[in-house]
């Protein structure tokens, strides 16, 4: 951990790497206020991997953007909560200090590498610029460090490819370049937002394995944002499941896959294609998520839930402990865990 006094002198080494408390993010739209994130709570420790999963629109990416401090305000508004990085609330920092935190402590891999990379500059120039701007290196030093990063993320023939443009790389190779850029300044926390989107399954596995290897080597905290539970099964230490802006379940990865405690998690797992169900109809979650400007009272998943009863349509279930290191926001979590 880099406790750099010129950036964040108040960092507390005894506090968790990241501690998100009751985070709330709203968007003002023509149809009303959309509650994109509604009270998210989770922690990430050094060397730990947290996967945040859920359908599109569940609030995963907005949560990551709030942590990074890159939400467009307006229309976005952080309506409450704290994002504590070793005890320092990143939400209260000035724009300049947030920028310096992003440069030195927290980095992000975006899901669309082709859009995130500048098409008119070579990948080598874009990597080297980070070292020149933030570390004051010479062009020669910056190029040497850039080559080391491309080697780290296993770009073949890095010495030749460093002078190529983003469009000359495949989707998987561009994603590796994005990972290299995120790692350039040795962050303590890396957020990967849908890092395997639009990649075939073989390349997906390579990217996930690469992230796991680098995370273990550098002992970073790692947050993986995805809609696919299958992608993170072998990588994550724990999983937070989001639905309609709320975290509805948190558990160690093996516990969650073995016995989910929330009907939504159970439905997500059933919708994953499996080798032992060849030829059978793939299960789907019937219905649609609620409109975020008009979330119904009670549990937002009630209209799609086989366990729902009258209480589910009137009382919002709180995220409560259901077993060791496990929490779920469901009135009937005990029945879900036991498969009743």
Has residue 11 been placed in a domain? no
Has residue 13 been placed in a domain? no
Domain region containing 126: 115-186
- Counting the structural domains of the chain, the total is 2
Phi first, then psi: give them for residue 106, nearest 5 degrees. Answer: -125, 130
- pLDDT computed for residue 5 by the predictor: 47
Has residue 10 been placed in a domain? no
Tell me: do 157 and 30 sit in the same domain.
no
pLDDT per position in the chain (340 positions), as tens? 554 446 666 777 788 899 999 999 999 988 889 999 999 999 999 999 999 999 888 999 999 999 998 888 888 999 999 999 988 999 998 888 888 888 788 988 887 767 778 999 999 999 999 888 888 889 999 999 999 989 888 888 999 999 999 999 988 888 888 888 888 888 899 998 888 776 677 777 888 888 888 888 888 999 999 888 888 888 899 999 999 999 999 999 999 999 999 999 999 988 877 766 677 777 788 888 899 998 999 999 999 998 999 999 999 999 999 988 899 999 999 888 887 6
- pLDDT computed for residue 340 by the predictor: 67
Q: What is the pTM of this model?
A: 0.89
Tell me: do 329 and 240 sit in the same domain.
yes
- pLDDT computed for residue 257 by the predictor: 92
Pairing type for strands 189-193 and 76-85 reads: unpaired
Q: Which residue's entry shows tokens 């952080």?
A: 78
Please confirm whether the linkage preceding 279 is cis (ω < 30° from 0).
no
Has residue 277 been placed in a domain? no
Tell me: do 150 and 290 sit in the same domain.
no
HEC string of the chain equals CCCCCCCCCCCCCCCCCEEEEEEEEEEEECCEEEEEEEEEEEEECCCCEEEEECCCCCCHHHHHHHHHCCCCCCCEEEEEEEEEECCEEHHHCCHHHHHHHHHHCEEEECCCHHHHCCCCCCHHHHHHHHHHHHHCCCHHHHHHHHHHHHHHCCCCCHHHHCCCCHHHCCHHHHHHHHHHHHHCCCCCEEEEECCCCCCCHHHHHHHHHHHHHHHHHHCCEEEEEECCHHHHCCCCCEEEEEECCEEEEEEEHHHHHHCCCCHHHHHHHHCCCCHHHCCCCCCCCCCCCCCCCCCCCCCCCHHHCCCCCHHHHCCCCCCEEEECCEEECCCCHHHHHCCC
Has residue 6 been placed in a domain? no
Tell me: do 134 and 176 sit in the same domain.
yes
Q: Which residue's entry shows tokens 């799609």?
A: 304
Residue 23 near residue 81 (C-beta atoms within 8 A): yes
Tell me: do 137 and 70 sit in the same domain.
no
CATH number, residue 95:
3.40.50.300
- pLDDT computed for residue 81 by the predictor: 94
- pLDDT computed for residue 141 by the predictor: 92
Tell me: do 120 and 193 sit in the same domain.
no
Q: How far apart are CA 243 and CA 265, in angstroms?
A: 10
> CB within 8 A of 278, min separation 6: which ones?
none
Tell me: do 61 and 197 sit in the same domain.
yes
């Amino acid at each position: 951990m880099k406790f750099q006094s010129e950036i964040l002198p108040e960092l507390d080494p005894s506090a968790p790497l990241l501690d998100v408390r009751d985070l709330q993010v709203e968007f003002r739209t023509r149809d009303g206020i959309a509650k994109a994130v509604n009270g998210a709570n989770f922690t990430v420790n050094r060397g730990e991997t947290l996967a945040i999963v859920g359908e599109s629109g569940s609030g995963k990416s907005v949560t990551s953007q709030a942590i990074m401090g890159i939400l467009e305000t307006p229309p976005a508004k952080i309506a409450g909560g704290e994002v504590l990085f070793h005890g320092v609330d990143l939400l209260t920092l000035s724009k300049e200090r947030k920028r310096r935190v992003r440069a030195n402590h927290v980095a992000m891999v975006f899901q669309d590498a082709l859009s995130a990379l500048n098409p008119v500059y070579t990948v080598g120039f874009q990597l080297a610029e980070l070292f020149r701007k933030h570390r004051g290196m010479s062009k020669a030093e910056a190029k040497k460090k850039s080559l080391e990063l491309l080697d780290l993320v296993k770009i073949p023939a890095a010495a030749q490819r460093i002078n190529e443009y983003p469009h000359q790389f495949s989707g998987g190779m561009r994603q590796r370049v994005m990972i290299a850029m995120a790692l350039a300044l040795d962050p303590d926390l890396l957020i990967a937002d849908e890092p395997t989107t639009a990649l075939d399954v073989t390349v997906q596995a390579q990217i996930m394995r690469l992230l796991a290897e680098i995370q273990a080597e550098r002992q970073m905290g790692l947050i993986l944002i995805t809609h696919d539970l299958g992608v993170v099964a072998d990588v994550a230490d724990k999983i937070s499941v989001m639905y309609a802006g709320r975290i509805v379940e948190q558990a160690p990865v093996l516990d969650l896959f073995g016995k989910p405690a929330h009907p939504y998690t159970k439905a997500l797992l059933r919708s994953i294609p499996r080798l032992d169900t060849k030829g059978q109809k793939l299960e789907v979650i019937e219905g649609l998520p609620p409109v975020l400007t008009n979330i119904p009272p009670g549990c937002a998943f009630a209209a799609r839930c086989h366990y729902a009863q009258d209480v589910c349509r009137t009382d919002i279930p709180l995220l409560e402990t259901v077993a060791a290191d496990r929490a779920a926001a469901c009135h009937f979590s005990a029945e879900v865990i036991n498969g009743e």
